[in-house]
Amino acid sequence: MPQYIMERLRPSQSESELPHLYYNPKDHKIGEPLRPIVSGIKSPLAKVSSFLDKIIRPLFDKHTHYALSNSITFLKHLKEFETTTETNLYTFDITDLYTMIPQKEAVLSICEFLGRHGYQKVQGLSINTIKNKFLHVLENSFFVLQLPGMKPKFYQQIRGGAMGSACTQVLADIYVKKWESKFVEQQKQQEQLYFRFRDDVFFTTTLPSQQIEKNLAELNEKDHNIKITWESDNYYLDE
């Protein structure tokens, strides 16, 4: 890695601090389950994580036409899509995606993605260098949890990426891209919609409900690290 980049990514010895874990309630879900967040703004890894996100995210967006920047965009596509009384709208949610993906396999998916699209280097960095930087961030993800009136407890994250780490989302996005590729191709062949916004997927189908349920059940067994829950509703737009 060039020296000038190394200097940009070097952590501050005076301002760096260990990330801490806290929880945010998912107030849009029944029971308001808690979402774990690792606050890593001053983490020694924060600059490296942000740098990886900035160089890989544009490539993922460029080569993933069905990735949504927000869920509202899907409604626009759906409104323009020609539907019939046979059209069903399905949604599925990937459970605990960011914290459950396998670290080394996810990094390998980054390397495969770059190689598949002909990138030998990204902004002057080799794929091997990028791989090592992702592994550096993941393998050195430590955080502290301190509850009121209790001594702090220190942890190392050994699965997935920290929710507060900048590169975690693009790492998960590319890992899921490989997992969903066959399903996406089937949707394309059937001239149906398929869009993903982070860990939420929206797609249309005219297949019988028994068949699509079977397909989703098979998708749910494809990778033991990825589990999905789904819902459906009949959707029809008047001409």
**Tokens matching residue 225:** 């690290």
- pLDDT value at residue 23: 81
Within a domain: 212: yes
- pLDDT value at residue 8: 84
Within a domain: 129: yes
* Blockwise average pLDDT, block size 10, the chain, 239 residues: 82 84 75 77 92 97 93 86 91 92 96 97 96 96 87 92 90 97 96 94 94 94 95 56
Which residues lie below 8 Å from residue 71, measured CB to CB, with a gap of 6+?
197, 200, 202
- pLDDT value at residue 145: 87
- pLDDT value at residue 65: 95
Within a domain: 208: yes
Range of the domain at 140: 3-234
**Rg from Cα positions in the chain:** 20
What is the count of structural domains for the chain?
A: 1
Within a domain: 239: no
- pLDDT value at residue 58: 97
- pLDDT value at residue 234: 55
The CATH number linked to 26 is 3.90.1850.10
Within a domain: 36: yes
Within a domain: 137: yes
